[in-house]
Amino acid sequence: MIALKQFLFTALLFLIIFDGFAQKDEEESIYNTLGITSVPFNAPVSLELIARYQHRVAATKNPNDKFDRSINSPKSVNYLPEKKKFYVQSLEGNETVVYSIETFEKLKVIRHVFNAQNQHLFKDGEYNAFDYKYRYRKSDFNIFSGKPVESCFSHNGKYLWVTYYRRSYDVNAESPSAVAIIDTESDEIIRVMPTGILPKMIAASPDSRYVAVTHWGDNTLGIIDTSSDDPFEFSYVNHAIVDKRLEVKFEPGVKVDRDNNCGYCLRGTVFTPDSKYLLVGRMGGDGGIAVFDLENNYQYLGVSYSPYYNIRHLIISGDDLIISSNSTGHVQKTNWQAFIQSRLENAGKNTIDKEAWKSCYVGPGARTIVASSDGKYVFACVNNLSKIIVVNTSTMSKVAEIPADSFPVGMEITDDDQYLLVTAQGKTGKGGGHSVMVYKLTMN
């Protein structure tokens, strides 16, 4: 009996150790070779990895596999068709990196570092928005480095707005952060505005009248009037709140995980094509999409739920409102006009209409989504699987997939459907990241 117990104990110990090794193998980061193509080969959409900017391998065999120290935890990417260039937000590098889509060459590096020499970028020395206070800083609020997260264009591509996750001295993102406004002609920062706590997503209305800065940190948004062409005339007009504003106050010296300690964790943000309504996804809590009526004093209309929660990204393509649900791994769609009408009819109370939504499972960690110009296909970054999945929006079914460097988060498609640009940020303890991939698209 003693021998049997010893055998079982040894076997159990072996299984635990083996399982640990197996889990470690499963979490190894993926780093692909240029030239890989999507499957199946006969799909209506095909992709090929043709170029990459990365900060992992200095000596590369392919001239289009470019070693670039500016690629440091790249978070998001935006393409400007008028100028044939794209902008990568390098979170830990405190930089926005600009590339040509025609030559794949690096055009410029925009540093998000503010010192005594560039304080003119802050209008009248402004350092605060609404009633936000600085927890520990007593002076020199505008001496900092910014960690760029997301960006958007306004005024037909004239300006690029870049949010900062936090100011460098604000360890737990408890104090006001900021947003930079970049002139895309010179690719220079021309103004920096204060924001609320921990801004992530940012969106501009189609008519360039508003820019909405979504505060991941406390369930609020800042709405900026951008109707002027002069950036120094831009000003806040509303501090929008989703249900209840959080009080953000942590114990001194205690490191807090602000990616999770964030209330409703407001993320995906989009204006309706008529610029009348603002939609905001709630990654935290029980999910849902919050809606604001911009033409009626920014009225909060409440929340509409889709079948799946943990909503990360929202886009509108044609008549479709399309969203990604991160943890459940779904891409969902509904008619945006019907969605708004239902919200107006039920203003002030939260609702769910499961029948109005169509869904497609793409895999755990569904992050950024983009649509082809005709709206026939949606591309989804599947972070946990390190893949790009292509979904047919008519049937809401997967039609193709291709590996991505681990772990993909940001994505953009060019206006001519020729290229798909994907950032891989990596994960703490799991590696990966430091990569921006360029896929060539072919649609049959």
Instruction: State residue 28's pLDDT score.
Output: 61
| Residues in CB range of 71: below 8 A, 6 or more apart | 53, 54, 55, 88, 90, 93, 97, 434, 435, 436
- Return left, alpha or beta for 330; rule: phi > 0 is left, psi -120 to 50 is alpha, else beta: beta
pLDDT tens profile 316-345: 999 999 999 999 999 999 999 999 999 999
Instruction: State residue 8's pLDDT score.
Output: 39
Could you say which of 2.130.10.10, 3.30.365.10, 3.40.50.2300, 3.40.50.11710 is the CATH number of the domain covering 112-250? 2.130.10.10
Burial class (CB in 10 A: 0-12, 13-18, 19+), 5: exposed
Q: ∠ at Cα 357 (362, 318), nearest 5°?
A: 85
> Is the pLDDT at 2 greater than 80, yes or no?
no
Domain ranges of the chain: 112-250
Residue 142's pLDDT band (cuts 50, 70, 90): very high
pLDDT tens profile 270-301: 999 999 999 999 999 999 999 999 999 999 99
